[in-house]
Amino acid sequence: MKTLMAMYGKAGDIVMSMWAASLIREKTGVPPSLLVAPQFHAIACVLRDSLEMPIDSVICEKSACPLRDRAVAGSFMASWSEGFLRERHPGFKRYFNCSLPCEAPEASHMAAFIAYLGGVCPSPFVPPSIPWAPRPSETKRRAVFHFGASDPRRHIRIEMKPLEMECVCVGGPRDPAPDWIDEDLRGLSLEQTVEEIRKSAVMVGSDSLMTHLSGVAGVPTACFHATPREESTYSRMAYANGVSLLAAAEGIVNPMLVREAVCRRLQV
């Protein structure tokens, strides 16, 4: 029974929608095709091809309503009915619209809210357990870091090298990076970045796409958040081996806090 799962949100939301996709696979017996906006095609394909997430084909929805997306919290796809999805994308037996109309309710994890929107979870407050991909047999004794992307509030700044192992940095070419990094891997393609993350012993980063990808890759992940609300809504504890912690004032993270999170809480 072919199914279509519609998902519109940020790149990290696409990753967190994998719990809904796994529930749909359990419900229907087959992984759903994933309908996303064109800007999310690359991340959806990486989830399917590199990280073995429960996705069949990836389909791009080329309609858009930028004015609505800017004016209200939510997306143009969120209000699409099953009948409208069927009209735009025929050929499927069942349709699940998991697109985000607004932020998750208080004390709800975004992955649970996404699954609830699609009708495959009875409550938005059920603790999710997001599926992860098997790791490669060889893991390098190194830590991979991501210090933040477009939102300066989510930058983490660690003044000294916090771990006694090789430390590499991933992300976009304009993402921040300190001088103590041993190898700068910023600017790689998304597929290459995922492969570098999967070979690492641990991931340390801000609340961004990179720490979501390491979570579904099965890599022990320590994610630092700017606010308690974000720590709860986007907690990396939904992944197999992840922890979420609050960053200190102005995003400054003490190296000893990183060491404690990695060495004790993640047992690396």
Q: What is the mean pLDDT of residues 4-8?
A: 96
Identity of the residue numbered 260 = E
In this prediction, residue 4 has a pLDDT band, given cuts at 50, 70 and 90, of very high
> Is the per-residue pLDDT at 135 higher than 90?
no
> Is the per-residue pLDDT at 188 higher than 90?
yes
pLDDT at 255: 84
Q: What is the mean pLDDT of residues 135-156?
A: 85
Domains with residue ranges and CATH for the chain: 3-117 (no CATH), 142-265 (3.40.50.2000)
Which DSSP helix (H) or strand (E) runs through 21?
Answer: helix 18-28
pLDDT at 71: 66
pLDDT digits (tens, 9 = 90+) for 232-261: 999 999 999 999 988 876 666 778 888 888
pLDDT at 190: 96
Tell which residue, 112, 111, 116, 107, has the closest CA to residue 126.
112
Instruction: Return the DSSP state at 263.
Output: I
> Is the per-residue pLDDT at 265 higher than 90?
no
* Largest interatomic CA distance in the chain: 57
